[in-house]
Amino acid sequence: MSTLARVALFLAVPLLGTAIASAEPGMPVAVRWWGGDTISVESSWNLSVSVSATAGDAQEADLTVITDAAPADSDAATFSAAGGNLDVSLDRYANQADLTIGASDAFEATPNTVRVRSFAGESLWVLIQADAMSILYTNDEAAASIPDPITTEIASIDVLVLPVGIQDPGAIIAAASARLVVPIAFRSPRGREFKAFEEHLAGAAGRRDAVGNTTAISTNIQTGLPGLEVLEPRPWRARGKLGALLKSIDRKNARSQETFAPLSANQMNHKPSNGTHAPRWNVEHMAGTELAFFTAVYAAANPSIPAWRSFPAQMPPDYVPAHPEWTGAEEARRMQRVAALRNRFAYLLDGMDLDQLPRGGPAFAQSLQGMCEIVANHYDEHTAHVHKKFKLPDWPEE
């Protein structure tokens, strides 16, 4: 059975979701630790923020926030949180290639906007809000309380980032009503300082050791006892055959992007006279398949990641485009976002047997390797169909 036939069989089951675009706000946010006091936050819209003490420690990101004063040679995307008066937002609007960064009070916010603020009391705090999630950060070991404006505005902080040298983490966790705690500024979870941090928690959070430097957070987050997510200072990398399979998906996804990126919105919406789908349908279908397969597997491994099954209607007469105004370049960015999400949380595949079907995977794939190969080949097959449309006599020139 061909890739298309197997995927079509998968899509034929009931309870198909809405179009993929409507699923993007609310998808999981990644919080990543890079050693020391440096973290980054990455949203489903593929926007990133780095927070650290100095610009030299920062990770490459769309927006950089440092807790010290900004160097004189800082670029336009680097901001200082010092003084507690920072309020800046980050977005990239649909059909615009460039990022928009600016003061939040003069910013045209969308559901994908990332907002970053700083608050100064006895200590300096940085608050990041993205995809309905709140990430609160301090690197000050002397921090003993959270500024009132934060706790007044936000009843429960989703991710609380604290240095392990902090004296009373349990009290701060309680004040924040934190759902997840990410410790930073430690050498080893087996070290004396980290063990003292855990003792100070006094059972205020349940520990989980992560593979790599990333944790997922979303509106799907589990409630109850706050989680203590112990990250490693380096990202997890897919090795061997799994690494090759994921890179194959990346290549074929990128090759497909090259086909769609030059097309106008009119060309993306064109309905061929031979009764086949508009090119836009192929993007929504391909990206929706990759998103559905991998988020189902990820959700089975970590319920904080929602499983999304969002596909366009199968038959051309029933199809309603999610974003008819998007150009081909924006649809290509949709595929980029899906690939970035899959790679961002691929650490959840660690230790899985390639010859076995992972929990949540589509039964017809038979194995993790089969699932990866289906997704990769699916891009090739549907992109080839779109190339045929370019040769039809009714294909629009612009």
CB atoms < 10 A from the CB of 228, how many?
21
Provide the CA 107 distance to its chain's centre, in angstroms: 22
User: Can you give the pLDDT at residue 293?
Assistant: 97
Amino acid at 343: N
The yes-or-no verdict on residue 322 having pLDDT over 90 is: yes
**Residue 8 pLDDT grade (very low, low, confident, very high; cuts 50, 70, 90):** low
**Residue 21 pLDDT grade (very low, low, confident, very high; cuts 50, 70, 90):** very low
Reported as a single tens digit per residue, the pLDDT across 144-164 is 999 999 999 999 999 999 999
Reported as a single tens digit per residue, the pLDDT across 197-239 is 999 887 777 889 999 999 999 988 766 678 999 999 999 999 9
Please report, rounded to a whole number, the percentage of residues in the chain having pLDDT higher than 70.
93
d(CA 80, CA 94): 28
Mean of the pLDDT values across residues 46-60? 95
**Residue 121 pLDDT grade (very low, low, confident, very high; cuts 50, 70, 90):** confident
Helix (H, G, I), strand (E, B), or coil: what is residue 30? Answer: strand
User: Can you give the pLDDT at residue 225?
Assistant: 74
Task: Choose the weakest-confidence range: 24-38, 73-87, 92-106.
Answer: 24-38
Which residue has tokens 């050693």? 35
Q: Which long-range contacts (CB under 8 A, 24 or more apart) does 332-336 make?
A: 332/257, 332/258, 332/260, 332/261, 332/283, 333/46, 334/20, 334/21, 334/283, 334/284, 334/287, 335/253, 335/256, 335/257, 335/260, 335/283, 335/286, 335/287, 336/46, 336/253, 336/257
d(CA 125, CA 91): 22
d(CA 35, CA 233): 4
User: Can you give the pLDDT at residue 11?
Assistant: 54
Which residue has tokens 């034929």? 12
User: Can you give the pLDDT at residue 15?
Assistant: 33
Scanning 202-327, the segments in alpha helix (DSSP H) are 240-260, 265-269, 279-301
The yes-or-no verdict on residue 13 having pLDDT over 60 is: no
Mean of the pLDDT values across residues 334-358? 97
User: Can you give the pLDDT at residue 280?
Assistant: 97
The yes-or-no verdict on residue 263 having pLDDT over 60 is: yes
Provide the CA 329 distance to its chain's centre, in angstroms: 20
Mean of the pLDDT values across residues 170-182? 94
**Residue 14 pLDDT grade (very low, low, confident, very high; cuts 50, 70, 90):** very low
Q: Determine contact, residues 242/349, Cβ cutoff 8 Å.
A: yes
Mean pLDDT of the chain: 91
Q: Which domains does the chain have, with CATH numbers?
A: 3-24+238-389 (1.20.120.450), 35-230 (3.60.15)
